[in-house]
Amino acid sequence: MIFGNNLFSIEELNHAEKAALEWLKIAHYKTGEIGFAHHKNLYYPSFLAWHKNYPETSGYIIENFLFYNNTKDNEEVRIARNTVEWLCNNHNGQGSFYRSTKKNELSSFNTAQILFGFWNAYLYFKDEKYIENYKLSNQFLLKQILPDGKWSTGLYVENYFPAYYTRAIWPMLLNIDSLSSDDILKIESSINYLFKLKNLKFFNDSGFFKEGNSLSHTVAYTLEGFYESAKILQRQDILDHVLKCMEYICDDTEEKKYLAGEFSNQLKQTASFQCMTGNFQIASLLLKIHNQNYNLRFFKIAEHLLAEGLKTQFKSNSKETNGGFPASLPIYGKYFPFKMVNWTNKFFLDACYQYKLSFKIN
């Protein structure tokens, strides 16, 4: 094992976690308190730096403000409620959302990510409006599933249903007790369709585009989506393959001492830049698996990724920058160069939660 103990203290992690949450609060206020700004440009003046609110990631950030990183602050609960109320009024009336802030094209994947927000808001507030919106959006998604399990419309690339859409299937199963047996079979047909993309070490077609490599961001989407869906559906065959994939990621990370921003479909690192979003997602998933199965190797690799990620967090006198992370390292890397995107902070907060949870469980 190449990584040692005590890479950072809990006090350091708590401080970084608080700063990351505060940056997301700024990203919320910059939208007029409706959702979270998609990103901030690092070198633009403030009045030009902040992009519009982004429904997809705003949806899955809600859980951080209500459950994962909540400090029992009324401000955090209010921000979560502002966001879910905005989302309730932002779909097209049939439960579907758009793929960008321009509202010009429906997105099934983005709609699925917002399910996390509706579901967690319902669990916290017990407001029937939120579960009704969850069900409405879920019904839209169910209608996209063809007899073979492939999704028909609202795809990022037309006729391309890649493996990372497991991250869209997972939230469809959160309220499984309310689903009919036919609906569960439809969802499982999609999981089966995507599981056929597996190869010896990973999955084919796990990137945003059919040709080329996959960002660590979509590698993590793929693996976490399979992992969580398989747990709900009790699919040991899928869980076994995911765990094998995670071992390969650990092998490469131990050898290179960092996680590349892109991978081949055989999980070979193919880039020199790092995608900080993907780093935190992989760290969070490793910790999640460790917390459920006790895997000390996964814990150590995740701890290393988290320690390296902590070094990249901006420390600034400006509240608009302090606590954020570059999307890429170096900052001119391929993934949103010279920008801080809100979901990097989200996945860092997930990793913080899972890391601290490990000390309570093990």
Place of tokens 């059919």: 210
Which of 43, 189, 164, 45 is closest to 112 using CA atoms? 164
Which residues are bridge partners to 203 per DSSP? 198
Mean pLDDT for each 10-residue chunk of the chain (362 residues)? 70 97 98 96 94 96 95 90 95 84 80 98 97 97 96 92 98 97 97 97 95 94 98 98 97 92 92 96 98 95 97 96 98 97 98 95 68
Residues 135, 174: Cα–Cα separation, whole Å: 11
Residues 56, 217: Cα–Cα separation, whole Å: 15
**229 Cβ partners below 8 Å, 6+ apart?**
166, 169, 170, 173, 191, 235, 238
pLDDT of 3? 57
Residue 87 to residues 57, 59, 129, 173, 188: CA-CA distances in angstroms?
11, 8, 11, 20, 27
pLDDT of 201? 94
pLDDT of 37? 97
Q: Do 178 and 135 contact (CB within 8 A), yes or no?
A: yes
Q: Do 87 and 114 contact (CB within 8 A), yes or no?
A: yes
Q: Do 347 and 288 contact (CB within 8 A), yes or no?
A: no
Q: CA gyration radius for the chain?
A: 19
Residues 213, 26: Cα–Cα separation, whole Å: 34
pLDDT of 5? 60
**128 Cβ partners below 8 Å, 6+ apart?**
122
Which of 215, 217, 327 is closest to 271 using CA atoms? 215
Exposure b/e, 185-199, CB count within 10 A at least 16 = b = ebbbbbbebbbebbe
